[in-house]
Amino acid sequence: MSASVVAFLLHMEETPPVGAIEPAQDERTMAILAHVLQVVGWWIAPLIILLVKRESRFVSFHALQAFLLQIVYMIVVGLFMVVWFCTFFLTMAHHGGGSNAAPPPAFFVLFPVVWLGFMGMWIAMLTVAIVYGIKAGRGEWAEYPLLGSLSRKILKIGPGGAIAI
């Protein structure tokens, strides 16, 4: 494919669904903030934006997606921590050395793996926040995988912000 065809396909806009709502600039800004502030404000920032701008379907949709993503992220991190602590304490108990014994080798393998896992999840969250913040700034009703359809069901809205029947 030539570069011009690729550029055309990348910038080609979809036709909005029937009944789609075009968001105002302040709604776009609040939707951007809902996505981007989740990086530093965790679940609190999208929740505040969701509660403050409840009347805007566009902002509510994007803020609810960011909020749900943060809840899922917290659950995954919590489970990861529980597995790490259990593995750490079971390894220490199984090793059972004296007071001057060296730590088990599993500890030196497990710690970097856990750290890389946390950094990988953080980079993924940062990437999602930036990509969907840009899409919200363009006025797109972009959905997170899995969480986008759940957000639509919770808010009872269809594609493009139309009222779901």
Query: Is 4 a domain residue?
Result: no
Q: Is 15 helix (H, G, I), strand (E, B) or coil?
A: coil
Give tens-digit pLDDT for 17-67. 545 668 888 888 889 999 998 888 888 999 888 899 888 888 899 999 999
Domain assignment of residue 118, given as a range:
23-155
CA-based nearest residue to 140, from 9, 45, 35, 43 = 35
Query: Is 123 a domain residue?
Result: yes
C-alpha angle 138/141/28, rounded to 5°? 45
- Quickly list H helices, 25-104: 25-36, 38-41, 44-52, 57-95
CA-based nearest residue to 104, from 88, 82, 85 = 88
- Number of domains composing the chain: 1
Query: Is 27 a domain residue?
Result: yes
Query: Is 29 a domain residue?
Result: yes
Query: Is 114 a domain residue?
Result: yes
Query: Is 104 a domain residue?
Result: yes
Among 5-14, 62-71, 77-86, 115-124, which stretch is predicted with the lowest mean pLDDT?
5-14
CA 3 to chain centre: 32
Query: Is 50 a domain residue?
Result: yes
> Is the full-model pTM beyond 0.85?
no
